[in-house]
Amino acid sequence: MPQFTAPLTDMRFLLNEVFCAPALWARLPALADTLDGQTAEAILDEAGKITGGLLAPLNRSGDEEGAQWEQGQVRTPSGFKEAYATYAEGGWVGLSGNSQYGGMGMPKMLAVFFEEMLYAANCSFALYSALSSGACLAIDAHASAELKNRYLPPMYEGRWAGSMCLTEAHAGTDLGLIRTRAQVQADGSYCISGSKIFITGGEQDLTENIIHLVLAKLPDAPAGPKGISLFLVPKRLVNGDGSLGETNAVSCGSIEHKMGIKASATCVMNFDGAQGWLIGEENKGLAAMFTMMNYERLSIGIQGLGCAEASYQSARAYARDRLQSRAPGGPIAANKIADPIIVHPDVRRMLLSMKAMTEGGRAFACYVGQQLDLAKFSDQADEQQRAALLVALLTPVAKAFFTDTGLDSCVLGQQVFGGHGYIREWGQEQLVRDVRIAQIYEGTNGIQALDLLGRKVLGNGGAALRVFTLEIEQFIQQSNSSYAVELTAAVQRLEGLSDWLMQHVGADANLVGSSCVEYLHVFGYVAYAYMWARMDQAANDNSPFQQAKHATAAFFFNRLLPRIESLDTSIRAGSKDLFRLNAEQF
């Protein structure tokens, strides 16, 4: 059976040595009196215990049993309800929530590591609280004071959960096509009618109430996405004193039978004249919902990281133990019938690829978390604005690149196991199934790539990109990086490619769509190169851990970063080859 151990040493290294988080927290007024390095380490230690000891043991059994639906009710797998009670009691649902309403108020730099542990230990379980955290964020940012006071405290406590109700059978990416309707009532509430699909945690038996955030249209709403409003619709209505009242007109029509994340209930939700309350302004619901969606996009990106870490841990242990053949240079374990497969070059290629991409991704997640913290907590307006600009630029990269490469790492881990990787008991095939959805939901990775290139880079003439590349160039100038030459060349390639696209996009309407996925990958590799240069520089003692950092950095720069050269060539080929066939020729 696979086991998961949180990579706490690497997380501490990133917080303390690479990003100097305690010093940052000390200068941010909202954090200075509540968080220091010692407290952060205690939180990480406890997070490692609850994910590795409580949640990971339920991962395979949860997959085998799955969520069950019967007459509108959902039953989560054995052990989930008890584990969730322990999890909620520890305050984990509200880890980064607003302390004014009962959250712990911890920074995102810390929360991204906890989320990685959650997904690595048990993807399905992680999703229930991830949706609650995102819903709380949207309510906190956009709802009235009355709604915040009524709903946020029990949600942060974990007594109530949240869900995100966007998708309809005919309206996925194009939300302007939704048919769910809202009608204002005499008391100021709204009557919500319609059906939503693919709703994670839309029904479950873990909490006493579920707070649905629902996109719907008012009768006189403008057509398209500009006519969407956001509503808070509880499963059970809430009395004036905060106690639970009667059941709302919300029901779960069925749950999906999926490839993976089988213990997560993916629901069809029916709203049959349900009572709801407006969040934010009428016809501006999509902007409000994007507060939650962007949170979820980073979280789902981290799902890719967590699954990759779990795959790497299992594959590493197996490669050290499995005896097959002899090393090319002669026996390594001469007293055994064969050498462990970790001596073989191709196995090392796979393991090092997984290690380099997962650790690079973990650093990038922490970096994005740092920007989120600066945008939220900094008392300097220019720093806040710069960080917010970087968050907008980097969120689609994090979501798509983490999950694309996360699947790659899970497949590589499966390959290390050979035939055993295809067998259920070893856990690798479940990781492949569980991680696959992360490239699809919360906006497919193709949509993320379109957002990055079309809106975040070309849309502002490369201004946001320049903020990021200028930071990398300043790092190169101010540091004594061993990889200054390679990093400089990589940044120049990204900037040159971006300039080429800006010059040619006007003459080719299909250029952005045909180039965006490759462009996002170029961006991702360059961002990881920046992270690896920073990690390599911060590894300044001679411990085995830091020696491994130097060796893995060398592998990344020599064997993985050169992939951007072929991606560059592919992009510059333009879109014409995509349209040589007519539809009937496919």
**174 is written with which tokens?**
């194009």
Residues comprising the chain, all counted: 586
Which positions ≥6 away from 110 have C-beta within 8 Å?
Answer: 15, 21, 35, 40, 43, 44, 95, 96, 369
Side chain identity at 18, as an amino acid letter?
A: V
Side chain identity at 474, as an amino acid letter?
A: Q
Q: Can you tell me the distance from the alpha carbon of 297 to that of 303, in angstroms, rounded to the nearest whole number?
A: 10
DSSP-assigned letter for residue 221: P
401, 141 Cβ separation under 8 angstroms: no
Side chain identity at 76, as an amino acid letter?
A: T
Q: Can you tell me the distance from the alpha carbon of 85 to that of 80, in angstroms, rounded to the nearest whole number?
A: 9
Q: Can you tell me the distance from the alpha carbon of 372 to that of 354, in angstroms, rounded to the nearest whole number?
A: 27
> Do β-strands 160-165 and 181-184 pair in parallel, antiparallel, or remain unpaired?
unpaired
Q: Can you tell me the distance from the alpha carbon of 567 to that of 571, in angstroms, rounded to the nearest whole number?
A: 6
- Secondary structure class of 241 (helix, strand, coil): coil
* CA dihedral sign of residues 554, 473, 402, 543: positive
Burial of 57 (0-12, 13-18, 19+ CB in 10 A): middle
Report CA dihedral (23, 108, 372, 104) to the nearest 10 degrees: -90
Q: Which of 208, 300, 217, 212 is nearest to 252 (CA)?
A: 212
Burial of 378 (0-12, 13-18, 19+ CB in 10 A): buried
Q: Can you tell me the distance from the alpha carbon of 344 to that of 570, in angstroms, rounded to the nearest whole number?
A: 32
Please give the biggest Cα pair distance in the chain.
Answer: 84
**464 is written with which tokens?**
């946001």
Side chain identity at 518, as an amino acid letter?
A: E
Where does 340-380 have alpha helices with state H?
345-377
Q: Can you tell me the distance from the alpha carbon of 203 to that of 213, in angstroms, rounded to the nearest whole number?
A: 13
Question: Residues with catalytic annotation?
Answer: 442
Hey, how many other C-beta atoms are within 10 angstroms of the C-beta on 449?
26
